Amino acid sequence: MKPRAIVSSLPHSTNTLVLSKQDSHHLLHVLRLQAGAEVEVIIPGVGVFDARLERAVENRAQVRLGVRREAIEDRESPLRIRVVMPFLKGDRTRWAVQKAVEAGADSFSIGTMDHSVVRPEGRSVSSRLQRIKKVIEAACMQSGRSWIPQVEFFEGVAGLDIEGPVFVMDPQSDTGIEQVSKVGKSVRSMTIITGPEGGFSRQERELFMRRGYIATRLGPRVFRAETAVVAGLVAFQTWLGDMR
């Protein structure tokens, strides 16, 4: 696979693009590419384009776009999965997000729950989200995705605004992944909710039940919080998405 870079939108009047400092550093100083090198450019919501590295101006790489080689639907799953998860201890949030992107997550809502150990506030929230966005972009380039998942912060599950089917990954549930049959094979978007290290509170479980969310367990074993994110994604991508 060719080296990849990400840009925010198609250029209006020229096929020449100036890449971000992060992508420029990676192409010019890590990979040490020279003028004329072939690369791929991801334009979120549009697709993947062939491109050629032209030159560097003040340590910013310039590339010239070629043809679009992949549309969004060529590489992305037909099943759009929103991941709702808490911030986790140490490096576990980064790990879970990275693997979830590789497994095809469409978007993320990351925040705090009743039993959350990590509770960022103020500027800490913004800085954490910025780091997560960088993890997402790097994972997209590594895995060859043509869509960049968005991420947002939430404070408490009661304030979440969710549409469509919702599955709660809960090891205390009596029902397994076969509950997906309740929404049918035609579903094209859904949400999965995973809990913190201490699990869901009684109040959260009652809230999920009132809202009609479907509690399900992923087999007889209890996963770590970060593992549940990836396991849930893979399970639903296998049932309804493109992991077949």
Nearest Cα neighbor of 79 from 184, 215, 154 is 184
Tokens of residue 118, six digits:
């990590």
Q: Is the pLDDT of residue 102 over 90?
A: yes
CATH of the domain at 15: 2.40.240.20
Mean confidence (pLDDT) of the chain: 88
In contact, 46 and 58? CB cutoff 8 Å: no
Residues 110, 13 share a domain: no
- Say whether 215 sits in a helix, a strand or coil: strand
Q: How many structural domains does the chain have?
A: 2
Q: According to the model, what pLDDT value does residue 13 have?
A: 60
Model confidence band, residue 10 (pLDDT cutoffs 50, 70, 90): low
Q: Is the pLDDT of residue 128 over 90?
A: yes
**Rounded Cα–Cα distance for residues 48 and 38 (Å):** 13
CATH of the domain at 167: 3.40.1280.10
Nearest Cα neighbor of 138 from 19, 48, 6, 2 is 6
Most confident of 61-70, 74-83, 108-117: 108-117
**Rounded Cα–Cα distance for residues 36 and 91 (Å):** 38
In contact, 115 and 198? CB cutoff 8 Å: yes
Residues 132, 44 share a domain: no
Q: Which domain holds residue 28?
A: 4-71
Residues 15, 107 share a domain: no
Q: According to the model, what pLDDT value does residue 151 have?
A: 97
140-154, 170-184, 193-207: least confidently modelled range: 170-184
Question: What residues does 214 pair with on adjacent strands?
Answer: 167
Q: According to the model, what pLDDT value does residue 48 have?
A: 85
Q: Is the pLDDT of residue 71 over 70?
A: yes
Q: Among the three residues 55, 71, 87, which one is the final residue of a domain in this structure? A: 71
Q: According to the model, what pLDDT value does residue 3 have?
A: 80
Q: Is the pLDDT of residue 153 over 80?
A: yes
Q: Is the pLDDT of residue 56 over 90?
A: no
Residues 168, 223 share a domain: yes
Q: According to the model, what pLDDT value does residue 12 have?
A: 64
Q: Is the pLDDT of residue 182 over 70?
A: no
Q: According to the model, what pLDDT value does residue 205 have?
A: 96
pLDDT digits (tens, 9 = 90+) for 16-50: 888 888 888 888 888 888 888 898 888 877 778 88
What pTM was computed for the model?
A: 0.84
Residues 187, 67 share a domain: no
Nearest-5° Cα angle at 149, 180 to 222: 45
Determine the average pLDDT of the residues in 178-195: 80
Model confidence band, residue 176 (pLDDT cutoffs 50, 70, 90): confident
Q: Which residues contact 67 (CB under 8 A, 6 or more apart)?
A: 49, 50
Q: Which residues contact 201 (CB under 8 A, 6 or more apart)?
A: 113, 114, 115
